[in-house]
Structure 1
């Protein structure tokens, strides 16, 4: 019986099937191999997925979409031999376009990144629950130290693109190929609460003219921030580091940079609650993309204003020679009007192509840009105010209007300085302003006319 059964089974296995005429045993073998391969593929996919940053849940997108564009930050980077903080670009394209070396004037740029949303569980594992809010968990990715080290080649010296009083900036590439800037802050390991508070304050901000914070890392004594990457340098480089006879920054480009930076700063002052005072508005912190669109960086030391509307900044004067408002020297208090003052100096810098503080070989003394500009205006010497590398002539009317705005921003009386929202309005085309004024007058006159007609009609009825 056993032999008969085996003979019958052997006959069935060797029988041709309708599947391409293959023997039954061959079809069975193929099925087994396919199943084994599928299992192996599944195991490989499972293992690889465990080593990748996990995307956040659907709450992340709904939360981020429900928040009107809030921002990010990047930190200042300062060279050893100049007052401005900088981080020099590693891009060979930028180096070639500027035709300048890395050694002088602290030419600086900033870096940024694009990364996936963070895994909420990983956040909880790195911070005490009371230190990490749910909103912060959904907004920024929490990177592991291993991810940061891999992106920066173990914090290799060749990846350093800048350093300053607040930290060191490294060029990095994430697992997904995104280019990023990683700032390793010089924080004491015992001040994790301050770091978390800073990240929360920065994380709320989202605006197209602010450098985007993509994530952070805090393991052990490390305190790091990861940003989106911009590869066209910063405004300081293009104003003072370009050796071309004619600057690529035309007047229209400069005005666009001014207006966009004003919008980003106005957002921090007027559209975020609690408001954020930047404290480091200067040309090295205005980063540019390939279309010359600016983004404000270095929100790392910005203080969130409380009910008293002021912020005591212990480090705001570092790297800010020539930009600091005069009241800070006497009070040590920095508020949004101090940012307006720094913006006014930046505006003068863009117009003239001069740094806020220069050393005069004739007088062997430091010369502040604001004093030099005021002396030129007093002498009606407007021809000498414009950057000589400007590719085109600008109208005297446009020049005077821009200088007037700058002088209003640096008014010694803090109360007389405009808000950044007012500055934006000042840069609107004159014909648009006149049109708005005409509309208001027209509506007022029309309303008064209707009232007069109604009064006449009532008098006629009564008579």
Structure 2
């Protein structure tokens, strides 16, 4: 896997290894796609005919397989889209064209595509770290839980990815299905959003909206979606609030194994937003109280604002990025957390972050 680069990469910067200015054929209108055009045979060979043992996961859009491109030897993730209800060829290529122009460190990179007959496939960079869900919510008995600063860096990266989709992509893109299983990690736990962009986009006044493809995951849906059936950028903000709350608590958005009053994460946590004294009660017990109190107050306040029932009062993702940016900056002379239990724990978890006092300081305005 190529070495990670820090910082934002220009939206129209060409990436090596792609056939740029690829033209689609057999359509009334030619589509410029800055990604490689694969045949179905090539991708079948890469995945050993989509062998079950190479299956990475399955979602609402289809199945994802691990594969190795025969010519280059590059390891990739091949998403085979569900053929039921697929768009026409030209409409699919238009969406792929949009995806091929998106370049950001916190988005999974599109390498190529296949529109061969009735087959629709997308080829992405393979991320060896798996999903955030697997490291946060599905951890095994001997698996080390994510420490506080790693969780905050994941949250910050997700926020940056959403900000790019909302504010810098052209046209703007709503993720519409943000959840921990759609946040992939590289070998250094840097997050990248997946499963974005494959929905019709439109404009309604100053708000972008999506109504052609439903958000499928209960527990992450914004309240207004059940009323209007439409998604806006503020719907993504709500879903981000749920993901942020999962990172804080180590709990699932919906968990039917818990008592009735605790099954819905947002409903369980919101009463505790009323007082900072209650914030420690919602923190993942696997952190063993090794977290900075000031940063906890800050991040819970951000989550609370993202989870406001009224979409109009939720912050923009650009505001969220600004607030979270202060939570991942660690001063060189930071003291160990007062409750850290040993020196090793101190080095990993005992942070005293220099966050601004006035950023999202009031949860109940």
TM range (shorter): 0.7 to 0.9
Tell me the matched-pair count: 320
**Match of residue 161 from structure 2:** 264
Cα displacement (A) at 1:321? 1.1
Offset of residue 144 of structure 1: 1.4
Q: Distance in 1 between matches of 2:226 and 2:265?
A: 18
Find the aligned partners of 1:400 and 1:431 in 2 and give their Cα distance: 12
**1:282 aligned to 2:179?**
yes
Preserved CA contact (<8 Å) 1:145 1:219: yes
* CA separation of 1:385 and 1:433: change in aligned 2, threshold 3 A: closer
Whole-Å separation in 2 of the counterparts to 1:324 and 1:383: 26
What CA deviation, in whole Å up to 9, does each residue of 1:271-312 have, x standing for no partner? 122211111111001111111111111115344343542323
The answer to whether residue 184 in structure 2 is matched with residue 184 in structure 1 is no
Q: What is the CA-CA distance between 1:158 and the residue it aligns to?
A: 2.7
Cα distance in 2 for residues equivalent to 1:120 and 1:409? 39
The structure richer in strand per residue is: 2
CA distance in 1, matches of 2:172, 2:251: 31
Note closer, same or farther for the CA distance 1:352–1:317 as it changes in structure 2 (3 Å cut).
Answer: same
- SS of the residue corresponding to residue 418 of structure 1 reads coil
Q: Does 1:154 align with 2:53?
A: no
Give the superposition deviation at 1:204. 1.8
SS at 1:311 equivalent: strand
Tell me how far 1:389 sits from its aligned partner.
1.1
Instruction: Structure 2: state its 5+ residue gaps.
Output: 1-8, 327-352, 360-365
Find the aligned partners of 1:431 and 1:147 in 2 and give their Cα distance: 51
SS in structure 1 opposite 2:214? coil
1:406-438 alpha-carbon deviations (Å, 9 max, x no partner) = 0001111111111010011112438575899xx
DSSP-derived class of the 1:210 partner: coil
Structure with higher Rg: it is 1
- Equivalent position to 2:61, from 160, 166, 185: 166
Q: Tell me the TM-score normalized by structure 2.
A: 0.80
* CA deviation map 1:9-65 (0-9, x unaligned): xxxxxxxxxxxxxxxxxxxxxxxxxxxxxxxxxxxxxxxxxxxxxxxxxxxxxxxxx
Partner of 2:131: 234
Deviations 1:120-178 (A, max 9, x none): 67x44x44261413xx2xx1000112211211112223332222332121221102110
SS in 2 for 1:162: strand
Aligned to 2:4: none
Aligned match of 1:69:
11
Aligned partners of 1:246 and 1:391 also within 8 Å: no
Aligned partners of 1:293 and 1:374: how far apart in 2? 29
Of 314, 317, 321, 2:215 maps to 317
Q: Please state whether the residue corresponding to 1:218 is helix, strand or coil.
A: strand
The aligned residue for residue 19 of structure 2 is 118
Q: Does 1:132 align with 2:31?
A: yes
Partner residue, 2:278? 381
Counting only pairs closer than 5 Å after superposition, residues 55-454 of structure 1 correspond to structure 2 as: 68-69=10-11, 116-118=17-19, 123-124=23-24, 126-128=25-27, 130-133=29-32, 136=33, 139-175=34-70, 176-187=72-83, 188=85, 191-244=88-141, 247-306=144-203, 308=205, 309-318=207-216, 320-359=217-256, 362-363=259-260, 367-378=263-274, 380-390=277-287, 393-429=290-326
Greater shift, 225-234 or 240-249, is seen at 240-249
Q: Which ranges in structure 1 are unaligned for 5 or more consecutive residues?
A: 1-66, 72-113, 437-463
Structure of higher RCO (CA pairs closer than 8 Å, 6+ residues apart): 1
